[in-house]
């Protein structure tokens, strides 16, 4: 961990006030695997438990914080680095951060994990086959990638490195949002993230 400016209120004080600790739920998987939909559904579940939460999503972040980045390997890594830094600020502020990003490279996800204290990064692999993701292609991105209109598209012309040992592995290709959210909530309760 690096030296940070100390604020008047500590992360522990915020956790006491919030009645929950803060951590990062990092949703990774192919485009169309259900990362954002699941993060939004889960945020609703956490909100009902009076948890302070915030979603960071690839589409939204690229419209502001990362608008200067393209989709080269280097830019993808920088995108994830920036998101990791923002996520760190959120958990210091006592917020449960739900980060939904393809984040195709293991090294980038590991770099974000290294920024935060142990056990504060929960990697959630939203596992769905390429075939299912292409069937869910509401934006038409896979079709454009197959026609060569989008270069460096993850799963088609750019690799996706699946997590080896994620904290949570979900079959988002076949299970409902409710089933997947229940699995996450069970993990959070079983491991003491929520009471």
Catalytic residues: 103
Provide the terminal-to-terminal Cα distance of the chain, rounded to the nearest Å. Answer: 27
Query: What ranges in 3-92 are assigned the alpha helix state H?
Result: 11-18, 35-48, 58-61, 73-92
Largest CA distance in the chain: 55
- Angle between the N-to-C axes of helices 106-115 and 73-92, in degrees from 0 to 180, rounded to the nearest 10: 20
SS3 state of residue 55: strand
Residue found by looking up tokens 């690799």 in the block = 159
């Amino acid at each position: 961990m690096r030296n940070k400016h100390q604020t008047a209120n500590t992360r522990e004080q915020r956790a006491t006030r919030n009645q929950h600790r803060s951590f990062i739920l990092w949703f990774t998987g192919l485009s169309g695997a259900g990362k954002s939909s699941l993060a939004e559904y889960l945020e609703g579940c956490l909100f009902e438990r009076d948890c302070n939460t915030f979603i960071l999503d690839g589409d939204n972040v690229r419209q502001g914080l990362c608008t200067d980045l393209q989709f080269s390997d280097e830019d993808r890594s920088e995108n994830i680095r920036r998101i990791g830094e923002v996520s760190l600020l959120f958990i210091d502020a006592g917020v449960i951060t739900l980060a939904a990003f393809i984040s195709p490279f293991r090294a980038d996800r590991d770099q974000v994990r290294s920024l935060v204290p142990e056990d504060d990064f929960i990697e959630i692999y939203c596992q769905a086959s390429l075939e299912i993701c292409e069937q869910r292609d509401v934006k038409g991105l896979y079709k454009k990638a197959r026609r060569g209109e989008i270069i460096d598209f993850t799963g088609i012309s750019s690799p996706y490195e699946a997590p080896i040992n994620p904290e949570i592995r979900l079959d988002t290709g076949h299970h409902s949002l409710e089933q997947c959210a229940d699995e996450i909530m069970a993990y959070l309760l079983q491991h003491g993230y929520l009471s």
